Structure 1
Amino acid sequence: MSERDRRNEGSFDRSRRTVLKAVGAGTALSALAGVGAASGHGSGGKGTTSDCWCPPCIDRLAGYTALADEDESGWPTQPDHVVDMYIEPRQVLFQQVPSEETDVEPGATPGGPEEEEFPDFFFDPVGLHVEPGDVVDFYNESTGLHTITAFTPRFSEPPYFELSQRIPDGSPPFSSPPVAADEHWLYKFDEPGVYDVLCLPHLDLGMVMRLVVGEDDFEEPEGNEDLPPAVQTVFGAPEMSVENIVEEGSVAWDDLTIEERLDPDTLFEEG
């Protein structure tokens, strides 16, 4: 196991309770079941749930899932861009929180609980400009499960969260099935406009990104005040403006300007 995998696994274990509070057990199961059903629209190849063996293609709803052991030569096309998905203690979004462990390491200075890094759940780049018709490869670099899901009301899950329309009107309400470690998910962005994308299991933890397709003078998506605090913080970073994403081409997660990091213990408190 690589050093990155060990960090991912440890971070995921430490945040397990917070993630469950974020999505709820029922929400996680129903959300993942919903995107799994979407794959029945014929993503083709090894990713299909159909009894028929179809030539590999990128489905307009379910994209194309490439399993960890699948050779790229079998993909329907080669991607134009790559977006990685991570769970890592980078401290871009969340501040440090006290550890529940009270044991002091030999040689360590006693005097209060040690601090550990709460992991960031993120896409990288978190902002990306592409041309209409470009194919994006979303690659899972972490040990957790992620989805790549359009911000549309179709994927709302009351009472946990409700989603507004934050993709172009002509775009279908797409979503990947759960993407496991070392798997790829391909999607072709045809309709020009602004696409806000999320990971269903980790929405409340701020795992969102923005793609701008084309170079027209697109308006910023509205309604940030209705989003979870972590999502508001990500989309509120100045680097995430549509104008900046088009100008820069891509925005790295580490480049986000976050004025105040969030305390994960307070994200899910009921008012």
Structure 2
Amino acid sequence: MKALGAGAALGALGWSTLGAGGGDTGGTSTVTDLDEHTGTVHDVQTLISGPPSNPDRPADFFYEPTGLHVAPGDVVRWTFTTPDHNVVGIHPAFGMRRRVPLGVDAFSSPLMGFRPDTIPGDMVEPPAPPAEEGGSDGNETTGTVTGTMTETTGTGTTGTETGTTMTGTTDGGDGGAMPAGPVPDTWLLSLQTPGVYDIICSPHEGFGMAMRIVVGDETTAPFETSDPEALPEPRAGPVGLSRVTLTDPALQPETVVERGTVSWSDLESVGGEDEGDDDGDDEGDGTEAGTGTTGTEAGGTTY
């Protein structure tokens, strides 16, 4: 397993960070970009939408897509379109019963949001959500909302800028160009070991922010169940509404492999139909199996 991206300070044996920095430290090696990566890069966004699909949460906090099938060695790139999220594999190192393949080390991104270098030093209030800053086409103020997130194959992709580089710029006052607004940060993870990986956002786990990645065609997982009551009690098991998300029929490993991507709006727990809309997956949700491109609005306002 390789963790790739700016700010990914991961020292577990067998990982490799990809981003700024240099040197080898205890089984990790830092490089500067993804030029040497020849596999597919799959994009996931961290999103918030309202009104909530469940009265037990103030809004829907979710990864989009929520289910993802990748090949061994592929990279998953999370873009923190809304801030205050992270990416945490459910692992005994974090006090939880393992929900990643045996032999896979613990992994977690930092708590992430906008790139610090795009936040002015005199900013007091947090940036407005992308949907409120103008430009529903993703090419104006933020440059990173739907329309810029595309599958990447091959070379020319940096671990810190692809999918998040601003389209517009403003004069920084000293003649130099600077981003036109806060830019969502990214975190990338390469997954080599086949199997089922369950992931949570620790700040919003109780609200159901969890996702499943199936690597390769290995769909057997000793922890798999469609009954939330069969899960271990928290903290060994998932907390709150993540118990519902991870046991949703739409996230069964076989279904994830068959469909390639599963949108948040496809989950039965948020009003979707289990495998019943295969002919209608392209109703404007921006998600196509195998592409990793996102932008689904799960009803109401999506940020």
Instruction: Name the CA distance, whole Å, in 2 between partners of 1:171 and 1:225.
Output: 20
Kindly provide the CA deviation profile for residues 229-267 of structure 1, in whole angstroms up to 9, marking residues without a partner as x.
30121122210111111111110001111179xxxxxxx
Amino acid of the structure 1 residue aligned with 2:256: I
Amino acid of the structure 1 residue aligned with 2:262: V
- The DSSP-based 3-state class of the residue aligned with 1:80 is strand
Instruction: Name the CA distance, whole Å, in 2 between partners of 1:169 and 1:96.
Output: 33
> 1:219, CA displacement in angstroms?
3.0
User: What is the match of residue 97 of structure 2?
Assistant: 164
Matches within 5 A, 1:183-202: 183-202=185-204
Instruction: Name the CA distance, whole Å, in 2 between partners of 1:231 and 1:96.
Output: 12
User: What is the match of residue 248 of structure 1?
Assistant: 259
Query: TM-score by structure 2 length?
Result: 0.52
Assess if the C-alpha contact under 8 Å between 2:89 and 2:198 holds in 1: yes
Instruction: Name the CA distance, whole Å, in 2 between partners of 1:195 and 1:214.
Output: 11
Residues 1:140 and 2:151 are matched in the alignment: no
- The DSSP-based 3-state class of the residue aligned with 1:204 is helix
Assess if the C-alpha contact under 8 Å between 1:150 and 1:173 holds in 2: yes
**Unaligned stretches of 5+ residues in structure 1:** 1-36, 65-72, 98-117, 157-162, 261-271
Kindly provide the CA deviation profile for residues 131-170 of structure 1, in whole angstroms up to 9, marking residues without a partner as x.
111111011110x3211111012113xxxxxx11000012
Judged with a 3 Å threshold, the aligned counterparts in structure 2 of structure 1 residues 224 and 96 are, in CA distance, closer, same or farther, namely closer
User: What is the match of residue 9 of structure 2?
Assistant: 39
Judged with a 3 Å threshold, the aligned counterparts in structure 2 of structure 1 residues 229 and 177 are, in CA distance, closer, same or farther, namely closer
Judged with a 3 Å threshold, the aligned counterparts in structure 2 of structure 1 residues 192 and 215 are, in CA distance, closer, same or farther, namely same
> 1:171, CA displacement in angstroms?
1.1
Instruction: Name the CA distance, whole Å, in 2 between partners of 1:96 and 1:174.
Output: 29
Amino acid of the structure 2 residue aligned with 1:235: L
Assess if the C-alpha contact under 8 Å between 1:191 and 1:213 holds in 2: yes
- The DSSP-based 3-state class of the residue aligned with 2:206 is coil
Kindly provide the CA deviation profile for residues 166-212 of structure 1, in whole angstroms up to 9, marking residues without a partner as x.
00012111111122130110100000000001112222121110000
User: What is the match of residue 258 of structure 1?
Assistant: 269
Instruction: Name the CA distance, whole Å, in 2 between partners of 1:86 and 1:155.
Output: 24
> 1:220, CA displacement in angstroms?
5.5
**Unaligned stretches of 5+ residues in structure 2:** 1-6, 115-183, 225-229, 272-303
> 1:87, CA displacement in angstroms?
2.1
Query: TM-score by structure 1 length?
Result: 0.58
Residues 1:124 and 2:64 are matched in the alignment: yes
Q: What stretches of structure 1 move > 3 A for 4+ residues in a row?
A: 73-79
Q: CA RMSD in A?
A: 3.2
Amino acid of the structure 2 residue aligned with 1:86: L
- The DSSP-based 3-state class of the residue aligned with 2:268 is coil
- The DSSP-based 3-state class of the residue aligned with 2:78 is strand
Judged with a 3 Å threshold, the aligned counterparts in structure 2 of structure 1 residues 44 and 125 are, in CA distance, closer, same or farther, namely closer
Aligned sequence identity (%): 31
Instruction: Name the CA distance, whole Å, in 2 between partners of 1:84 and 1:205.
Output: 17
- The DSSP-based 3-state class of the residue aligned with 1:45 is coil
Matches within 5 A, 1:11-90: 39=9, 41=11, 43-46=17-20, 48=21, 53-54=22-23, 74-75=33-34, 77=37, 80-90=41-51
Judged with a 3 Å threshold, the aligned counterparts in structure 2 of structure 1 residues 220 and 84 are, in CA distance, closer, same or farther, namely farther
Instruction: Name the CA distance, whole Å, in 2 between partners of 1:254 and 1:230.
Output: 15
Residues 1:236 and 2:247 are matched in the alignment: yes
Instruction: Name the CA distance, whole Å, in 2 between partners of 1:122 and 1:259.
Output: 11
Instruction: Name the CA distance, whole Å, in 2 between partners of 1:214 and 1:189.
Output: 10
User: What is the match of residue 52 of structure 2?
Assistant: 91
Assess if the C-alpha contact under 8 Å between 1:87 and 1:121 holds in 2: yes
User: What is the match of residue 119 of structure 2?
Assistant: none
> 1:43, CA displacement in angstroms?
2.6
